[in-house]
């Protein structure tokens, strides 16, 4: 059965990506054998949506489904933009691209040369790139070099990348690659930082340990538990672990960043309030179409 | 004379045990930890290790947790670990978060001044800690006399601070002929 995911002729961030996915019949559904992602003229995909799309397309190809990305506008539209991010460098070669795969990698050609900075990097457990957090945070500092708080921003994003990437090494248990991405836009006043993996979701690794490690939290809903992961720092390995995600949140909150976490069937979007992420400021979506893994995105509204 | 009698203090340059100036992630941290442990075991007579952060550019929370903080926690009560050559607010914040999670206090020394990061003393022991930090060595009786407390009460506070890793202690002959403990800051 064919499943079509149709994107609108608009900017596609993580929220619009999810909306399009919800309107489809579910690419990971058992009876889906073929998936088409349709990008009309005027559709522009942002990096937080792009790495979820990349993870999903690779997951579907890995499960032997026929996958096609159909770019109506060709390389002059969002396809060219995705190319500049390095999207096609990481897309499974089993995925078909219409009208055709870009002939050259825009990311390799443009790297470091454009002011609207965007980049996707691969995270592979077997080829650990020790320089990756530094390279990504250096890129942010370069793009935001006119900001007075650039050093603080660089330090915060380095820690966020380091902790989230290490989390993938420690927890995700998958053969599929993960991705880290960044995008600086609106003249350096907006920043999107995202990390995705296609392994087990946080809940799948944390839930089984709750009864022994954190019995008081075992009754919480997934949403409330997820908020606590970022507020208290929880880990299946016990009370003295789990400081990484909590630390990431603390760094992001200093810049008033919102946090978007997508799990296999849920999504939580957290807006900071009074210097913290709180359950009553969480927007929750349950019963979403399956997307393997954990996908975390911070959106920094840096202001002038 | 050194307040801890035979206590020796040694500088442990963290950068010498790292593969690069940026330390991140638990697995990298665990590798570095083993090297640090080797250094500590090779210097069995050293009681205080001043971990120098010179030339270390960054450490994330997981790396700090698996290295400096884990080492301090492992040797709590017998050896002390503190930080020197550290001013970067981001690194201080990350080590602080790691210490807080593992309930391990850590002093950051800048000249003769120390800032406490990680675990903070409880309300009941805070004053005793500050008292001990203001002097090279402290006996519970001295604190008891100044604050008009019983010696037993003061002793309990210092014992707790020692057990939690806030202070070091050694045995000393008391004027009365018995044994009493002398407490001193980690540094």
pLDDT tens-digit map of A1-37: 999 999 999 999 899 999 999 999 999 999 999 999 9
Model pLDDT for residues A164-222, shown as the tens digit of each residue: 999 888 776 778 999 999 988 877 778 899 999 998 878 888 888 888 888 888 888 88
ipTM of the complex: 0.88
What is the Cα–Cα distance from B50 to B71, expressed in whole angstroms? 12
pLDDT score for A147: 85
Query: Is the peptide bond prior to A204 cis by the omega test (within 30 degrees of 0)?
Result: no
What is the Cα–Cα distance from B45 to B10, expressed in whole angstroms? 10
B30 touches A at CB < 8 Å: no
- Using only C-alpha atoms, chain B has a radius of gyration, in whole angstroms, of 17
- Is A180 within 8 Å of A248 (Cβ atoms)? no
To the question of domain A112-304 being in CATH 3.20.20.70, the answer is no
User: How many angstroms separate the Cα of B9 from the Cα of each of A196, A207, B39, B79?
Assistant: 45, 45, 13, 10
pLDDT band, very low/low/confident/very high, at A243 (cuts 50, 70, 90): confident
User: Min CA distance, A239 vs chain B (Å)?
Assistant: 8
Model pLDDT for residues A43-76, shown as the tens digit of each residue: 999 999 999 999 999 999 999 999 999 999 999 9
- Is B82 within 8 Å of B53 (Cβ atoms)? no
For testing contact with chain A, the best of B90, B96, B98, B165 (most A CBs within 10 A)? B90
- 3-state DSSP: chain A helix, strand, coil percent, rounded to 5? 40, 25, 35
Query: Is B60 in contact with A156 (Cβ distance < 8 A)?
Result: no
Q: Is B160 helix (H, G, I), strand (E, B) or coil?
A: helix
Output the average pLDDT for chain A.
Answer: 88
- Of B20, B25, B61, nearest to A169 by CB-CB distance is B25
Judged against a pLDDT cut of 60, whether residue A246 lies above it is answered with yes
Chain B residues whose beta carbon lies within 8 Å of the beta carbon of residue A163: 24, 60-62
Q: Is A266 helix (H, G, I), strand (E, B) or coil?
A: coil
Q: Is B75 helix (H, G, I), strand (E, B) or coil?
A: coil
- Is A49 within 8 Å of A82 (Cβ atoms)? no
Chain B residues whose beta carbon lies within 8 Å of the beta carbon of residue A135: none
- Of B25, B90, B98, nearest to A166 by CB-CB distance is B25
Structural domains of chain B ordered from first start:
8-118 (3.30.750), 123-185 (1.10.10.10)
B171 touches A at CB < 8 Å: no
Chain B residues whose beta carbon lies within 8 Å of the beta carbon of residue A162: 22, 24-25, 58, 60, 62-63
Domain boundaries, chain A: 1-107, 112-304
- Of A131, A156, A244, nearest to B62 by CB-CB distance is A244
pLDDT score for B80: 97
Vertex A187: Cα angle to A183 and A188 (nearest 5)? 55
Query: Can you tell me the mean pLDDT for A276-283?
Result: 83
What is the Cα–Cα distance from A255 to A271, expressed in whole angstroms? 12
Query: Is A162 in contact with B98 (Cβ distance < 8 A)?
Result: no
Burial (Cβ within 10 Å: 0-12, 13-18, ≥19) of residue A297: buried
User: Min CA distance, A120 vs chain B (Å)?
Assistant: 20
Model pLDDT for residues B111-166, shown as the tens digit of each residue: 999 999 999 999 999 999 999 999 999 999 999 999 999 999 999 999 999 999 99
Residue B117 parent element (H or E): strand B113-118
What is the Cα–Cα distance from A238 to A286, expressed in whole angstroms? 27
Query: Is the peptide bond prior to B104 cis by the omega test (within 30 degrees of 0)?
Result: no
Q: Which residue of B has its CA nearest to A160?
A: B60
B25 touches A at CB < 8 Å: yes
Query: Is A243 in contact with B61 (Cβ distance < 8 A)?
Result: yes
Judged against a pLDDT cut of 90, whether residue A116 lies above it is answered with no
DSSP A68: E
Return the number of CB contacts < 8 Å for A and B: 77
Q: Is the dihedral of CA A276, A281, A287, A289 positive or negative?
A: negative
B60 touches A at CB < 8 Å: yes
What is the Cα–Cα distance from A186 to A236, expressed in whole angstroms? 39
- What are the E-state strand segments in chain A? 2-6, 11-12, 34-39, 44-45, 66-71, 96-98, 118-123, 178-185, 190-196, 258-262, 267-273, 276-285, 295-301
B31 touches A at CB < 8 Å: no
For testing contact with chain B, the best of A133, A138, A166, A180 (most B CBs within 10 A)? A166
At CB < 8 Å, which residues of chain A contact B? 130-131, 133-134, 152, 155-156, 158-159, 162-163, 165-166, 169-170, 233, 240-244, 246-247, 250
pLDDT band, very low/low/confident/very high, at B3 (cuts 50, 70, 90): very low
pLDDT band, very low/low/confident/very high, at A238 (cuts 50, 70, 90): confident
Instruction: Tell me, rounded to whole angstroms, the distance of Cα A247 from its chain centroid.
Output: 18
B24 touches A at CB < 8 Å: yes
B21 touches A at CB < 8 Å: no
Q: How many CA atoms within 13 Å lie on the side-chain side of A199?
A: 23
pLDDT score for B5: 52
pLDDT score for B32: 98
Helices (H) and strands (E) in chain A, counts: 10, 13
- pTM recorded for the entire structure: 0.90
Residue B58 parent element (H or E): strand B58-59
Query: Is A244 in contact with B103 (Cβ distance < 8 A)?
Result: no
Q: Which residue of B has its CA nearest to A154?
A: B90
Count of C-beta atoms within a 10 Å radius of residue B147: 13
- Of B27, B90, B97, nearest to A169 by CB-CB distance is B27
Helices (H) and strands (E) in chain B, counts: 7, 10
pLDDT score for A126: 83
């Amino acid at each position: 059965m064919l499943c079509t995911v149709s994107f609108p002729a608009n900017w596609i961030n993580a929220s619009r990506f999810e909306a399009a996915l919800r309107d489809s019949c579910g690419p990971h559904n058992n009876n889906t054998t073929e998936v088409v992602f349709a990008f009309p003229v005027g559709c522009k995909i942002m990096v937080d949506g792009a790495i979820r799309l990349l993870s999903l397309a690779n997951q579907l190809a890995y499960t032997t489904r026929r996958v096609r990305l159909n770019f109506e506008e060709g390389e002059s539209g969002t396809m060219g933009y995705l190319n500049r991010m390095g999207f096609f460098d990481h897309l499974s070669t089993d995925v078909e691209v219409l009208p055709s795969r870009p002939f050259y990698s825009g990311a390799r050609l443009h790297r470091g040369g454009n002011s609207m900075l965007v980049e996707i990097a691969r995270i592979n457990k077997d080829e650990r790139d020790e320089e990756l957090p530094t390279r990504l945070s250096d890129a942010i500092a370069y793009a935001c070099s006119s900001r007075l708080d650039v050093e603080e921003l660089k330090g915060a994003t380095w820690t966020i990348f380091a902790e989230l990437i290490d989390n993938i090494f420690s927890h995700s248990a998958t053969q599929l690659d993960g991705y880290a991405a960044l995008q600086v836009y609106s003249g350096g006043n907006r920043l999107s930082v995202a990390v995705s993996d296609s392994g087990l979701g946080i809940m799948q690794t944390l839930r089984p340990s709750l009864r022994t490690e954190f019995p008081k939290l075992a009754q919480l809903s997934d949403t409330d538990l997820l908020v606590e992961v970022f507020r208290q720092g929880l880990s299946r390995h016990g009370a003295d672990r789990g400081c990484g995600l909590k630390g990431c949140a603390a760094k992001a909150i200093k810049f008033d960043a919102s946090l978007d976490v997508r799990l296999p069937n849920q999504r939580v979007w957290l807006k900071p309030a009074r210097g913290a992420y709180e359950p009553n400021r969480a927007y929750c979506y349950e019963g979403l179409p399956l997307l393997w893994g954990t996908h975390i995105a911070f959106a920094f509204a840096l202001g002038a | 004379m050194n307040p801890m009698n035979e206590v020796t203090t040694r500088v442990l340059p963290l950068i010498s045990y790292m593969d690069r100036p940026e330390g991140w992630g638990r697995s990298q941290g665990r590798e570095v930890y083993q090297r640090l442990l080797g250094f500590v075991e090779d210097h069995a007579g050293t009681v205080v290790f001043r971990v120098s952060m010179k030339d270390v550019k960054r450490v994330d929370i997981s790396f700090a947790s698996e290295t400096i903080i884990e080492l301090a926690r492992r040797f709590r009560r017998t050896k002390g670990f503190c930080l020197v050559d550290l001013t970067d607010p981001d690194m201080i914040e990350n080590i602080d978060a790691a210490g807080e999670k593992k309930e391990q206090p850590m002093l950051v020394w800048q000249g003769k001044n120390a800032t406490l990061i990680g675990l903070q003393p409880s309300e009941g022991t805070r004053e005793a800690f500050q008292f001990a930090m203001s002097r090279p060595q402290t006996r519970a009786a001295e604190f008891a006399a100044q604050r008009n407390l019983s010696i037993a009460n003061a002793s309990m506070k210092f014992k707790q601070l020692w057990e939690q890793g806030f202070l070091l202690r050694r045995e000393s002959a008391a004027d009365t002929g018995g044994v009493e403990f002398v407490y001193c800051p980690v540094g």
